[in-house]
A and B are shown apart, each in its own frame.
Chain A
Amino acid sequence: MSTAIAYEDAVDLLDSDHKLVQKLLIQFQTLHEFGAPPEDRRTMAERICAELTIHTQIEEELFYPAVREATGDDALLDHAEEEHQEAKDLIARIQAMGPEEEGYDDCVQQLAEAVMAHVMEERERVFLQARYSPLDLRGLAVELYERKQELKSAAGGMPELPPEKTPEQIEEQS
């Protein structure tokens, strides 16, 4: 039942996406540092891109318009959307490339930097303003959750992650 979701509010739900993606980006960086085979790097990158695509979509469809209305802070929300565009461009570039190509890992690293800068700003500004505003963030969490499930099914589920390995195992394998 949708009312039984554990997220207290929309901010908690959206930031759990951030935390998951941050974890995956660190894992990608580990694969890069220790020379994982292209296939594993690609699987990880695809998963990161898939998670981010759904996350940005639910923010743009539901969260940002609601915060824009509640706070009237157009500059803040315009800026957040611009940052999404930067991430989307990088995702498109990654998806059009092969993991053997030069610049593939660089591109994912650029995405990591863009995403982390965006996350920090979103926490400090958008989330804080949203929580100060009269917006019903608890109710919005349910809508965001349902839309996320819809988008995940429509995408046929999320790409699987490469098998978990220690840095040493990654190095030995390569």
Chain B
Amino acid sequence: MKALVYNGPCDVSVKNVPDAKIERATDVLVRITTTNICGSDLHMYEGRTDMPPGRILGHENLGVVIEVGGAVDRVKVGDWVALPFNVGCGFCENCERGLSAFCLTTNPGMAGAAYGFADMGPYAGGQAELLRVPYGDYNCLVLPRDAEAKQNDYVMLADIFPTGYHATELAGVRPGESVVIYGAGPVGLMAALSSVTKGASQVMVVDTQKDRLALAEKLGAIPIDNTEGDGVEQVMELTGGKGADRGCECVGYQCCNLHREEVPGLTMNNLVASVKFTGRIGCVGVFVPQDPGSKDKLGRVGKMPFDFGMFWFKGQSMGTGQCNVKAYNRFLSRLIEKDKVRPSFIVSHELPLDQAPMGYENFDQRNDGWTKVVLKPGS
């Protein structure tokens, strides 16, 4: 089968690799029709993780089931399925409680597994023609009848829509509250969509990229362009000097200042400054225990300067970590089915798998207009 393989820093290519297949009786085999490039793929693409060369990337996957293992009951051949990026077992202490991002079975020793992801188990990614899905009955979300026509919407259920929603859950967003979101990338935009859907009274999105801020504005959010004056000051002004009720971090450890220089901790400290006393912050941007590729000495040993004194003084609290997709994907899928939301609005480019390397390059460079790349292995 054809698959997008990571060769080394900023080097990916589409290669012929052995077909994915059923390996255990609980597996499901999916023919991938739609698979996205995610911002977190870029950490791996840039060589800023310990992803070994030779691995297939891709954790935002959707397709049709073509084979099921002997111990699979619920999922049938021909089903259209969206695959949570998390690989969970469904029966460990964490999966039992809905914490599928921290499955104790699928990545022994650690907690949490994913397809084509550094440090998250041996599972191949889905930027390929075929994908093996372990514990298929648990990990497949069987989609409604309009799945084929709305693939670009439903594929967002694999990661970014639930992840954006998770940011608002970690932050505790409730109707009528104000929310400040750092990062207008795909996840930040999904956090904005989720906040609007939840009935937030004021959704502010801070970024430096005009094309992305324009999408936030279309959702009904207030775009805050950090290049046109201090974002924190603008949030304070919009909230009458109090700060937002809730904050979401949707950027991660490679956050940059106006000059595109990485400044670790910048977004977290801006959130502490722009969220109100007693406010809560949800942090879904990726942070890593060690970042050997950082130009920053502290970053290399997994530390960042955090304004903890102010965080404490303001009585703020915070929730962190990867999204437990299974906790939300079924309900979010109904919003798509009933045409309440259309998360495909962020898609800027639809490419055949062969052109994936070009997609990576442009997305990584943050070239104007490249907000979200959707790959179509079948075309």
Contact = CB atoms under 8 A, between A and B. Distances in A.
Interface residues of B, number: 19
A18 B109 contact: yes
A117 B300 CA distance: 18
B28 to A, nearest CB: 17
A116 B301 contact: no
A34 B50 CA distance: 23
A167 interface: yes
B242 interface: no
Most A Cβ at <10 Å: residue of B107, B121, B298, B301: B301
A29 B300 contact: yes
Interface stretch (A75-83, A125-133, A144-152, A154-162): A125-133
Contacts of A56: none
A15 interface: yes
B50 A120 contact: yes
Given A116-B50, A124-B121, A125-B122, A33 B109 contact: no
B110 interface: yes
Contacts, number: 53
B105 interface: yes
B210 interface: no
A43 interface: no
A138 interface: no
Nearest to B289: A26
A30 interface: yes
A12 B298 CA distance: 30
A11 interface: yes
A165 interface: no
Interface string A10-29: 01101100110010001001
A120 B119 contact: yes
A123 interface: yes
B302 interface: yes
Given A124-B121, A124-B122, A128-B122, A29 B301 contact: yes
Nearest to B121: A124
Given A26-B302, A120-B119, A127 B105 contact: no
B94 to A, nearest CB: 13
Given A124-B121, A125-B122, A128-B122, A26 B301 contact: yes
Per DSSP, are chain A's interface residues mostly helix, strand or loop, or mixed? helix
Contact of A30 (B24, B105, B301): B301
A146 to B, nearest CB: 21
Interface in B93-132: 105, 107-110, 119, 121-122
B295 interface: no
Contacts of B301: 26, 29-30, 33, 167
B297 A123 contact: no
Contact of B109 (A29, A30, A123): A123
Most A Cβ at <10 Å: residue of B108, B110, B300: B108
A34 B119 contact: no
Contacts of B107: 123-124
Nearest to B300: A33
A123 B110 contact: yes
Given A11-B108, A26-B290, A123-B107, A33 B297 contact: yes
Interface string A27-41: 001100110000000
B342 interface: no
Contacts of B298: 167
A123 B52 CA distance: 14
B268 to A, nearest CB: 18
Interface in B290-348: 290, 297-298, 300-303
B297 A15 contact: no
Interface in A91-137: 116-117, 119-120, 122-125, 127-128, 130-132
A123 B50 contact: no
Contact of B108 (A33, A34, A127, A167): A127
B300 A123 contact: no
Contacts of B297: 33-34, 167
Contacts of A117: 50, 52
A123 B107 CA distance: 7
Interface string B1-32: 00000000000000000000000100000000
A117 B289 CA distance: 15
Interface of B: 24, 50, 52, 105, 107-110, 119, 121-122, 289-290, 297-298, 300-303
7 contacts: A15-B109, A22-B289, A26-B301, A33-B297, A117-B52, A123-B109, A167-B303
Interface of A: 11-12, 14-15, 18-19, 22, 26, 29-30, 33-34, 116-117, 119-120, 122-125, 127-128, 130-132, 167
Given A19-B109, A120-B52, 12 more contacts: A15-B110, A29-B300, A29-B301, A33-B297, A33-B301, A117-B50, A120-B119, A123-B107, A128-B121, A131-B108, A167-B301, A167-B303
